[in-house]
Structure 1
Amino acid sequence: MAIAVLVILDLWVYPDACSRARQNEPVAVRLGGFTIDAPRVWVAFCVVLFVIFFPLYLAARRAPQ
């Protein structure tokens, strides 16, 4: 059950990030010298380290640009 919820949330990240990128409001965060702003990168990081990157995605999506 928990894995199904993680998969559904990970699958939500991609279309949400793509939609925001098309509206010229990309979800972006800068970690040191590394910037995460591409939808496919968000999904990859959310799949690999969900506990860290999904909350970071939610925070970055709410942050003013």
Structure 2
Amino acid sequence: MRSYVTTLIPLAVLLGSVGWVYQDASAHARRGIHIYFSVESIELSKPATWALGCLCLWIVFLPLYLTCRRQAS
């Protein structure tokens, strides 16, 4: 039972933060404020792209999103 809890808590944090990133980026986009990041051929500007990045590589994309969000506001 305990191993399920130690697996479910990080999974819930991951999915919750991915959902928040998508919702927050969508809300900003509706107001005309796009959270944007670009380096060479990589471009992050759509809510789905931010959410997918957070889902795949959370430890990199969540702090990057928060930084870009602060600069966009």
Scaled by the length of structure 2, the TM-score of the pair is 0.81
Larger radius of gyration: 2
The answer to whether structure 1 residue 2 and structure 2 residue 5 are counterparts is: no
Residues 21 and 50 in structure 2, CA contact (< 8 A), matched pair in contact too: yes
Identity rate, percent: 32
| Greater percentage in helix | 2
2:57 pairs with one of 45, 49, 52? 49
The one-letter code matched in structure 2 to 1:25 is: I
Structure 1 unmatched ranges of 5 or more: none
CA RMSD of aligned residues (A): 1.3
Residue 46 of structure 2 aligns with which residue?
A: 38
Structure 2 unmatched ranges of 5 or more: 1-8
Aligned pair count reads: 65
Residue 6 of structure 2 aligns with which residue?
A: none
The one-letter code matched in structure 2 to 1:58 is: L
Scaled by the length of structure 1, the TM-score of the pair is 0.91
Runs of 4+ in 1 over 6 A off after TM superposition: none
